[in-house]
Amino acid sequence: MTTLLDPAAVMRSQIVAALRTSRRPRILGHVGPDGDVLGSASALSLGLRTLGADPKIVLLEPWPELFGAFEPEGGTILVHSEAEALAAIHGGDAVVVVDNNDWKRLGGLESAVRSFAGPVLCLDHHPCELPFSPLHLLDVKAAATAIVVYDVLRELGIPLTPSMADALYVGIVNDTGWFRHSNTDPRVFATCMDILNSGGRPSRVAAELGYRERIEGKKLLGAFLATIELRESGRVAMGHVTRAMMTETGGVEDETEDFVNQLRSLRGTSIVAFLRETTGGVKISLRSRDGVSARRVAQHFGGGGHVLAAGAFVAAELAQVRGELAAELRAELARSAAERDGAPLVDRRPRYG
Ligand SMILES: [Mn+2]
């Protein structure tokens, strides 16, 4: 039971009140928007329209084609310059940031939001040390921001339409890996039950997101699969994509997004690494299990992330990165084994003599 003195409840009611009264909300996510950003923004946008508002989702890049079916018609503003960012943001009467609590990840919209005089709201589920803004609705127990948005729509008394339900479902499947990740909890299924009862169409979402791969992407996948190598008695798997492979097959960066999962699904692996040549260096994606830390390996290369899923960018040649990474993956297996045995990990450096 909450009382009016509960600061979280007070903030929640302020956020809901601000959403209810805003006529021209501007909805933002983060650079490189994923299914949770787009699904959350779409559902919120469609919901606020039913209150008579004219919400706009402000984007720095075109709405990704993969999620095209879930773009609210006429509901986006694509921004190409600082002046357009200012016009788009300042033309609103409230800013709502979804699935992001890092100002830097607003990219080219950051300064326009910083100079915005109206309320800046944040609906999110990523842990953070400092609140994004005074109106920060942070629910770290929610598997997806789409679930936070679902709660807010319910609090606003907005009935879900099938389109809103589908958009929320997109966010949930994005962040739970189609109900496979460890964040798949009873609340996920409870929310999905309501989504289905409201006319949500899981098979439509699966078809839109799943059955649309290009032959060029498949050829690139084939080339990538041929690079996979197992190390450390099969506990480590590595695979890569070079620029030449992309040129030869016609496959593009977006089509490599799932390649790390091809490694992760290999039997017997504890940590896997996908390397992709990109502008100025190599991008590393890491996934782990069995008490092995992908994050520690990423941190070694100046990156970061979660324990089980992390990444880094290294400004070096692929061959060099592969060598260093293989050594670091081996070191991580040793570290995690030592931790499991309860040995103190005082010093990570090799000892000589
Ligand atoms: Mn999310």
Quick: pLDDT tens for 169-200: 999 999 999 999 889 999 999 999 999 999 99
CATH code that applies to domain 215-340: 3.10.310.30
DSSP state of 161: P
pLDDT above 80: residue 248: yes
How much is the average pLDDT of 197-209? 97
Contacts for 85 with CB less than 8 Å, ≥ 6 apart: 58, 79, 108, 109, 111, 112
Which architecture characterizes domain 7-210 according to CATH?
Alpha-Beta Complex (3.90)
Band (pLDDT 50/70/90 cuts) for residue 219 is very high
Look at residue 351 in the predicted model and tell me its pLDDT: 45
Sign, Cα dihedral of 89, 92, 94, 96: negative
253-282 per-position pLDDT tens digit: 989 999 999 999 999 999 999 999 999 999
Distance from the alpha carbon of residue 18 to the mean position of ligand 1, in angstroms = 22
The mean pLDDT value for 12-31 works out to 96
| Cα separation, 107 vs 309, whole angstroms | 23
pLDDT at 7: 78
Q: What is the mean pLDDT of residues 67-82?
A: 96
Give mean pLDDT, residues 90-102. Answer: 96
Distance of CA 276 from the midpoint of ligand 1 (Å): 24
Which runs of consecutive H residues, i.e. helices, occur in the chain? 7-21, 35-49, 82-90, 110-114, 145-155, 162-176, 186-197, 202-210, 215-225, 243-249, 259-264, 294-300, 318-340
Q: Return the bridge partners of 237, or none.
A: 230, 272
Cα separation, 309 vs 298, whole angstroms: 9
Q: List the domain boundaries for the chain.
A: 7-210, 215-340
Round to whole Å and give the CA distance between 256 and 116: 37
Three-state DSSP class for residue 261 = helix
- pLDDT for 316 beyond 70: yes
Give pLDDT, residue 232: 98
**Model confidence at 352, in pLDDT bands (50, 70, 90)?**
very low
Average pLDDT over residues 134-159: 96
Ligand 1 centroid distance, CA of 145 (Å): 5
Question: How many angstroms does the Cα of residue 90 sit away from the middle of ligand 1?
Answer: 26
Looking at residue 9, what is its pLDDT? Answer: 83
8 Å CB contact between 215 and 252: no
Distance, CA 172 to ligand 1 centroid (Å)?
8
Ligand 1 center to residue 299 CA distance, Å? 22
Q: Are strands 271-278 and 304-305 parallel, antiparallel or unpaired?
A: unpaired
Higher-confidence residue: 66 or 233? 233
pLDDT at 3 over 60: no
Q: What is the mean pLDDT of the chain?
A: 93
d(CA 161, CA 168) in angstroms, rounded, equals 11
Distance (Å) from CA 231 to ligand 1 centroid: 33
- Tell me if domain 7-210 and domain 215-340 are identical in fold: no
pLDDT for the residue 4: 57
Cα 232 to ligand 1 centroid, rounded to whole Å: 33
Q: Which residues contact 288 (CB under 8 A, 6 or more apart)?
A: 270, 271, 272, 294, 297, 307, 308, 309
**How many alpha carbons fall within 13 Å on the CB side of residue 288?**
23
Question: What pLDDT is recorded for position 343?
Answer: 60
- Both tokens of 11, joined, read 């903030």
